[in-house]
Amino acid sequence: MPDTLLTLNRGSSSLKFALFQLLPDGLKRLLGGKVVNLDGNAPEGAAHDTSGNLIWEHRWTGPECPSDIQLLDKLLEFVTGHSGTVSLAAIGHRIVHGGMELIAPTRLDSGVMEKLEALCPFAPLHQPHNLSAVRALAQMRPGLPQIGCFDTAFHAGQDAMLTRIALPRSLTEQTGLRRFGFHGLSYEYITGRLRELNPAKAAGRTIIAHLGAGASLCAVHNGRSIETTMGFSVLDGLVMATRCGALDPGVILYLARERGMAISEIEDVLYHRSGLAGLSGIGGDMQILLESEDPRAREALDLYIWRIAREAGALTSTLSGLDNFIFTAGVGENASAIRAAVCARLGWLGIETDEAANLSGGPCISTPASRVSVWVIPTDEEQVIARGTLACLREHAA
């Protein structure tokens, strides 16, 4: 009998994965790992068990990056050979964009894949890679169920006013242009985790700061998404590692008309050469920027922090107040200096942080006197994908 689920998060340059054992009362994580440098030379992968022990390493060599079939073949060889007993029941995928229709974990059959392909122009950095992994596995394991879990789904219940874009209705109604929101799998996990840590706090007004290479804020009330800083695309909102965040659209018109830049070149600038990397001229790695003595690094970080605080103020207005502020994802979980600086800028909300708690990583880093509880909660998108995949399997079996 199949006894495990594999989760995959195929990005533009990496592949995250985790293996879960199916139990009568739920799921148990067995291992997790990542393959990096998929957009460069010598991609390499590693996996660790739940105790942090390294249990797999592999480096792909050759003049070209491996195809998704070559990549996944090696990964499945490792996963299915783990402990010599693994039999996969399904594979769950993070799919960045589900559009307006796909708002629950869904079996990725040909009809659903056609709908998801049509959404690629809405998320050109992520969606094609997400779907490439699905197609490769369908070719390799045609009988193995594949389930999609969508980053946009968490925001599907937002008030219609907050999803509108102020363009002519003839454009928005014909093309589906609207605000969608992203990082939903992470936000779903964090809202559930806060409910476990403090049910009373979880019922209140919360801002979650998902600060990774991609970054966004989400205003949540009683576990439900109210508003988020990413809108139509993953370019919107905060300054990110290599993405610009919110941008006056006149800049794009200027670059095209006055500088003669092609759409593909502008796209490359906005997605890959902007944000912290573009501002600093050093790169988008937060740890390197924090340790740098280059004044451009400080300028980039100052803008990064200011934009987080500014957007948090706007979301507080939407919520008509604030009870909780949560940091998560790579920067949010690990950069205590960024947390301290953001909280200092939000001191007007009555936020007071405990310096020792912040340095140790929480989970609660605010003082008892703070009017807003501040938390550091590690995210676990793989857990959400696995739960959604299992629920979808059981629904189909019923």
**pLDDT < 50 regions, the chain:** none
Select from 87, 122, 150 the last residue of a domain: 150
Is 191 within the bounds of a domain? no
* Residues 86, 29 share a domain: yes
d(CA 340, CA 333): 12
Q: Looking at residue 398, what is its pLDDT?
A: 63
Each residue of 82-105: pLDDT tens digit? 766 678 999 999 999 999 999 999
In a domain, 166, yes or no: no
**340 and 213 in a common domain:** yes
Same domain? For 99 and 229 the reply is no
Domain span at residue 31 reads 4-150
Examine residue 26 and state whether it is found in any structural domain, yes or no.
yes
Total domains present in the chain = 2
Among 111, 135, 150, give the residue marking a domain's end.
150
Same-domain status, 236 and 328 = yes
Any domain includes 172: no
| 324 and 202 within one domain | yes
Same domain, 321 and 258: yes
What pTM does this model have? Answer: 0.94
- The CATH number covering residue 87 comes to 3.30.420.40
On whether both 111 and 240 belong to a single domain, the answer is no
Query: Is the residue at 175 inside a domain?
Result: no
Does 173 map to a domain? no
Structural domain includes residue 310: yes
The answer to whether residue 167 is domain-embedded is no
Instruction: Mark whether 120 and 264 lie in a shared domain.
Output: no
Of 150, 182, 217, which residue is a domain's last? 150
Considering the domain architecture, whether residues 279 and 371 belong to the same structural domain is answered as: yes
Active site residues: 151
Q: Are residues 142 and 291 in the same domain?
A: no
Query: In this structure, are 354 and 283 located in the same domain?
Result: yes
Tokens linked to 239: 């300054």
For residue range 291-350, what is the model confidence (pLDDT) as tens digits? Answer: 999 999 999 999 999 999 999 999 999 999 999 999 999 999 999 999 999 999 999 999
Are 139 and 202 within one domain? no
